[in-house]
Amino acid sequence: MIRPANIVLEQTMELPLFAVLQRTPRVAVRLSLILFSLAIVPALYSLLSNPILLPLSISSPETDGPLPSDHMHLSHLNSPSVRILPPVNSPIPAPPYHTRHRKSSYHSTPVTTPTTSRTQIRDDEQRCDLFKGEWIPNEESPYYNHTTCWAIQEHQNCMKHGRPDSGFLRWRWKPDGCDLPVFDPQEFLEMVRGKSMGFVGDSISRNQAQSLLCLLSRVEYPEDISSSPDKAFKVWNYTSYNFTLHAMWSPFLVKTTKADPTDPECNLFNLYLDEYDSKWTSQINRLDYLVISSGHWFYRPVIFYENETISGCQYCALPNTTQLPLYYGYTKALRTSLRAILENFKGLAFLRSFSPQHFEGGPWDKGGDCVRTRPYRRNETIPEGADLKIHDIQVEEFRAAEEEMKKKQGLRLRLMDTTQAMLLRPDGHPGRYGHLQTAAEVSLRNDCIHWCLPGPIDTWNDILLQMMKTEK
């Protein structure tokens, strides 16, 4: 009697596996094993080659720490272990003897890279005009302070002297066509390894040199290697990089003497408009980079000499002497200085444009002050003064020198046109906070010419580094 197939199947499913195998033909068993192998083995191979990743609760010191960065947060800069106070009464203070040419703790405690900064300008931004733009918020600044940088002079030490607002520190310059990277001290020092740089000019030029010293102090403190005790001519060396930095005092840029050398209070100067100031022009052939600037001292009483003869004067009230405008002397002095560079320098030179003042409510000697706490916007009305005429002269003389430069081998002359950017920063000056707020000193004049450190002037070195990079 033949049973239905479904009954056979039901009984078979109820039997143990070994019994089923006993009743199954050997060919069927072999076929089943082959099919099993073809299905399971590839799956096992795939699983072993690509294991499933599970989250781990175990961490290591190498993966837990933040990534290294070339920028330092203020919380690290406030560490007592790097507290260095500047000495008193020095044009640019020397680092204390126990900190000279030592590495700072900048790299020993890595921090995250600020999200607003970049170390490179993209290829499509290389032709960006760095000098047209706007100030935008930057909560990651400042990158040093008055307890970590020895190079800040008292009259620039705004926070030490009680300035109540700190918002002026938290802006950065944003060119219209690109994003200007924040100054990278490690990158700068690598770029200038084995080279030398000089700043020539007045106290605003020195102000920029001090800013650079402070920015670089996050990596290394330099050694003072000045050859003389003359505080107007300072030289530092960053021994780990063999980089030498010079600050050369020449507020008029040309040969200058006091009208009465025997009177230390004499404020009348003789300017030899067609003669070099050899104190700096004799040094620049040793430099690879040069930053030159001037302007503010030309508002003083001066006597002009040309061909060793008096050609006129400014604010001098001398009898039988032609009264000449400020622009006459400044134009000729700048022209002579640029000629000195064309004749004696073969590196990369920058003419940094005039730094505007921001006195409001009166001139500097009649109660003028600068009390604003934020930058101007470009669409705001900004008071204009003689500063912009000085800037126009600089642009004209630069263009003339640029034409002459084309005949020279090796020399590169560039205009660092920071005037417009700084015109928007009335909030960046010391004002009344360039001295102690005591009864004896509160009557001192307000300083709306120099710049607080840290402050907007640090942007000049952002721009300087970027311009150097484009010349590589």
Residue 429 annotated to the active site: no
Residue 447 annotated to the active site: yes
Catalytic residue among 417, 447, 458, 462: 447
- Please tell me the distance from the alpha carbon of residue 455 to that of residue 143, in angstroms, as a whole number: 10
- Please tell me the distance from the alpha carbon of residue 422 to that of residue 351, in angstroms, as a whole number: 16
Residue 105 annotated to the active site: no
Catalytic residue among 69, 203, 226, 240: 203
- The structure tokens listed for 145 are 């302070």
According to DSSP, the residues that pair with 272 across neighbouring strands are 255, 305
Catalytic residue among 196, 391, 450, 462: 450
**Which residues belong to the active site?**
203, 447, 450
